Structure 1
Amino acid sequence: MDIALITYVGLPELTEDDRRLLEPLRARGLRPRAVVWDDPGVEWECFRLAVMRTTWDYFLKPADFLAWLERVSPRVDVLNPPDVLRWNSHKSYLLELAGKGIPVTPTVLCPRGRAASLPALAAERGWGSVVVKPAVSGSGRLTRRFEPERLVAEGQAHLEAVLAEGDALVQPFLPALHEGGERSYIFFEGVFSHAVVRPRTMEAPGDTVPDGVALAPRADEVALSERVLAATPGRTLYARVDVATGPDGTPLLQELEVIEPRLFLGASEGAPERLADAIVRYVSR
């Protein structure tokens, strides 16, 4: 069976990490092939399954991406499921999960076209340093941190620049995230696979970044991750739950990545095989 591993034009042969999945899939009788998501010449009906991997430009043209998903999903099974991809593509999902009782990094959504004062938002909530980012984004694009003395001029100007393109998020800066790194918990079919501490460098499309460092999972962070996945509107083939430490030491959801996350397959022995087995189980149904 032919399996499409979906990527973007900047990585036509996938990342080194994702290429670790190729041999396990072949060993299980599947024929994996890297496919650029917006290549107009792809005959999607030829594939049994399309697995999203490194579509690291979807947030630069989100309307095109969602329209492509609408066109392709009737022609081939797409994983993660299209409804989950659409839901995860706008970071307002953080507010939805918070409304379900999930501990989430405090987040304010600033809608495009509506005036917002960054100094006022920070003052009302008692935040010092804040992070401003687009609600539809990836790879750290337009994500910036501002100290209190920079909120009025630089911070406000940046917020307005983000709002000129779309919705924006404002969050408090968590010192523990900077000091200890962000922990990522990777799941296949909702089952915990492995955990890593992610490098703190921004991951730009096409950049070569070091693998995450293997992390002994913390029970409270695994439990949080499982709650997040249980509250996600659909089952997932793969998911990465990024966790940070809040001011009181408890874990908080920083982001849920179910579109195109690095899965750090090289950080855990057997991880590529576990994902390949999950794909085989899907196509065998």
Structure 2
Amino acid sequence: MNIALITYTGLPEMTVDDQRLLEPLRARGLMPYVVVWDDPKVDWTRFQLAVVRTTWDYFLEPEAFLAWLERVGSQVKLLNPPDVLRWNSHKSYLLQLAEQGIPVTPTALCPRGRKVSLPALVATRGWRAVVIKPAVSGGGRLTRRFEGARLADEGQAHLDLVLAEGDALVQPFLPELHEKGERSYVYFDGVFSHAVVRPATMEASGGIPDGVALAPLAEERTLAERVLAATPGRTLYARVDVATGLDGNPLLQELEVIEPRLFLGASEGAPERLADIIAGHIRGLSR
């Protein structure tokens, strides 16, 4: 049984962390191949299953990526499912989850091309410091923090820059997130696997930092499972990133179901658990 583990040109062998999955898959009689998502030479019909892993440039060509999902999803079973990936690709999903009663980091969605006064927005929301980011992005790209006198000049200029490219999000800066880190809860097939804590990601940080194993907190795990229950589709893998709000309560910072680091090395047996579930999907296809 051939399995495609999907990456991008900048990581043709995937990350060291994801490579931990290769041997457990082989031990279960599966043949994994690492494949670049937009390589035109790939024959997707030779695979029984394709698993999206490190497509870390998808947000640079979002329309091409969404078209690729449609095309490849019609040729091979793709996990996570295309509908879920499409929904998760634009961070407006945070507002949709908030409408369902999920406590999320407060978020103002600013549509592309529309003039938005950052000082007026901040005054209306009562925020003292904000984080501005694209609604379609990853790895902290164009994610920056502004406060005080910088809001009206540098902050406004950055918001205008993001809006010239696409939709933007403006969120309050959460001090505890940057002082104590972001907690990431990893689930395989909807079942909790492990949790890590890691520094918050900003553009200047140079990528996604490593995570340190974390004993799950009951209140945060309950939040994570509410988020998964509200997700419009079953997921092979999901990472729920939790932050502490200004009132001290946990908030959903992001739900990552496209190409998240899963920190497989942070929990003993995590690669084997994920390989078991992938093997189960393969068995289900052959029935």
Scaled to the shorter chain, the TM-score interval is over 0.9
The CA deviation at 1:212 is 0.7
RMSD: 1.4
| Secondary structure of residue in 1 paired with 2:169 | strand
Amino acid corresponding to residue 78 of structure 1 in structure 2: L
| Secondary structure of residue in 2 paired with 1:56 | coil
The answer as to whether partners of 2:17 and 2:265 remain within 8 angstroms in 1 is: yes
Cα distance in 1, alignment partners of residues 175 and 68 from structure 2: 39
- Indicate the residue corresponding to 2:225 in structure 1: 226
| Secondary structure of residue in 1 paired with 2:34 | strand
Cα distance in 2, alignment partners of residues 57 and 210 from structure 1: 17
Q: Deviations over 1:61-96 (max 9, x none)?
A: 001101111111110110000000000000000000
The CA deviation at 1:149 is 1.3
Amino acid corresponding to residue 12 of structure 1 in structure 2: P
Identity %: 77
Q: Deviations over 1:109-137 (max 9, x none)?
A: 00012111111111111101100000000
| Secondary structure of residue in 2 paired with 1:244 | strand
Amino acid corresponding to residue 156 of structure 1 in structure 2: Q
The CA deviation at 1:221 is 0.4
Cα distance in 1, alignment partners of residues 42 and 180 from structure 2: 43
The CA deviation at 1:211 is 2.9
The answer as to whether partners of 2:5 and 2:53 remain within 8 angstroms in 1 is: yes
Q: Normalising by the residue count of structure 2, what TM-score does the alignment of the two structures yield? A: 0.96
1:141 to 2:148 alignment: no
Amino acid corresponding to residue 67 of structure 1 in structure 2: A
- Indicate the residue corresponding to 1:164 in structure 2: 164
The answer as to whether partners of 1:185 and 1:225 remain within 8 angstroms in 2 is: yes
The answer as to whether partners of 1:50 and 1:76 remain within 8 angstroms in 2 is: yes
Structure 1 residues 204, 59: CA separation in 2 closer, same or farther (over 3 Å shift)? Answer: farther
Cα distance in 2, alignment partners of residues 202 and 186 from structure 1: 21
Cα distance in 1, alignment partners of residues 281 and 234 from structure 2: 12
Cα distance in 2, alignment partners of residues 257 and 93 from structure 1: 11
The answer as to whether partners of 1:211 and 1:266 remain within 8 angstroms in 2 is: no
Q: Deviations over 1:8-28 (max 9, x none)?
A: 000000100000000000000
Could you list the runs of 4 or more consecutive aligned residues of structure 1 that deviate by over 4 angstroms after TM superposition?
201-205, 207-210
Structure 2 unmatched ranges of 5 or more: none
The CA deviation at 1:208 is 7.4
Structure 1 residues 180, 130: CA separation in 2 closer, same or farther (over 3 Å shift)? Answer: same
Cα distance in 2, alignment partners of residues 132 and 12 from structure 1: 31
Correspondence 1:33-112 to 2 at 5 A: 33-112=33-112
Amino acid corresponding to residue 244 of structure 1 in structure 2: A
The CA deviation at 1:147 is 1.1
- Indicate the residue corresponding to 1:274 in structure 2: 273
The answer as to whether partners of 1:118 and 1:152 remain within 8 angstroms in 2 is: yes
- Indicate the residue corresponding to 2:252 in structure 1: 253
Cα distance in 2, alignment partners of residues 73 and 242 from structure 1: 27
